[in-house]
Structure 1
């Protein structure tokens, strides 16, 4: 083997190793947004779905055709340590008709002496229900700023997709829990 051929092979190997390292670095940065997208599309890990008003209207018609079956929804609200807020559902449980839009109200109060902007993370249990729990409007879609002592009512407009009735993984599910945790928003 000639010196030129050997040098060419070393350069090609070095370029391939560099390309592989750059690709792994790129995948490392893309992993979080790709995972979030995957969870939003599939409901994996209890991630809820977002729906439009027209999708809610279609689900309502499908729910009526399914015979008006009901399911219990449990609401949970917590705050991250150090937030300075109190946060809880106005009503802890509700019976809803599958496919019908319903509204839950959460109450939040800034107990501190400074304005605080919070952002909510959320999930649904059992995990398999995440693919069927649809939020039409939610305070969790945007950051919320509360002034010192301010108390607000935060609505969530949601429905349970009637397709849940056809999923064998949803058999025996009698209650879905919607949980929110408020964290202080990062600047």
Structure 2
């Protein structure tokens, strides 16, 4: 028989291990939840475009940003587009390293309003991939996407006419060593 003095530490250790396991599982489970539901403006990844194009027009505004730790210029060729659900669009983004050192960054995105994220389908994107530029180097990246025609059947999105797709480059040099000037 297990004594009460032994049971309490074993129970607490078990709870600790269980909670630790949940903390490691939380990120992938939340990511899966966002991708399935479009929660938080998470867009969808698609292999092919739909066979139908609707006459409805949605104004898509493309917003570009750079984190303050990064000396890059980031712009899109077309800031606004009139998009028809079901039609495939290709947008070109331009990036330049304005600094005097090579630097790396990763672009993340968000869709607003967030309820629209599940209908924004990417066929090709540079987001979440590490990009490295030498000093003064320029690069162009493409976004290929379409809006799922099903958006007109969703009461939360059927009347939306304006959507913002925001991209931000963040430095991927998280552990950059500062040089001491002595």
TM-score by length of 2: 0.89
> Which of 107, 113, 133 is the equivalent residue of 1:126?
113
User: Counterparts of 1:26 and 1:186 in 2: how far apart (Å)?
Assistant: 28
Aligned residue number for residue 80 of structure 1: 67
> Which of 126, 147, 158 is the equivalent residue of 2:134?
147
- What is the DSSP-based 3-state SS (H/G/I as helix, E as strand, rest coil) of the residue aligned with 1:171? coil
Name the larger-Rg structure: 1
1:161-180 matched pairs, under 5 angstroms: 161-180=148-167
C-alpha RMSD of matched pairs (Å): 1.6
Structure 1 moving runs of 4+ over 4 Å: none
1:36 aligns with 2:31: yes
1:21 aligns with 2:16: yes
- What is the DSSP-based 3-state SS (H/G/I as helix, E as strand, rest coil) of the residue aligned with 1:168? coil
Aligned residue number for residue 46 of structure 2: 51
2:106 and 2:130 in contact (8 A); partners too: yes
- Gaps of at least 5 residues in structure 1 are none
Aligned residue number for residue 116 of structure 1: 103
- What is the DSSP-based 3-state SS (H/G/I as helix, E as strand, rest coil) of the residue aligned with 1:179? strand
- What is the DSSP-based 3-state SS (H/G/I as helix, E as strand, rest coil) of the residue aligned with 1:130? helix
More helix by share: 1
- Gaps of at least 5 residues in structure 2 are 175-182
User: Counterparts of 1:80 and 1:33 in 2: how far apart (Å)?
Assistant: 25
Cα displacement (A) at 1:169: 0.6
TM-score by length of 1: 0.86
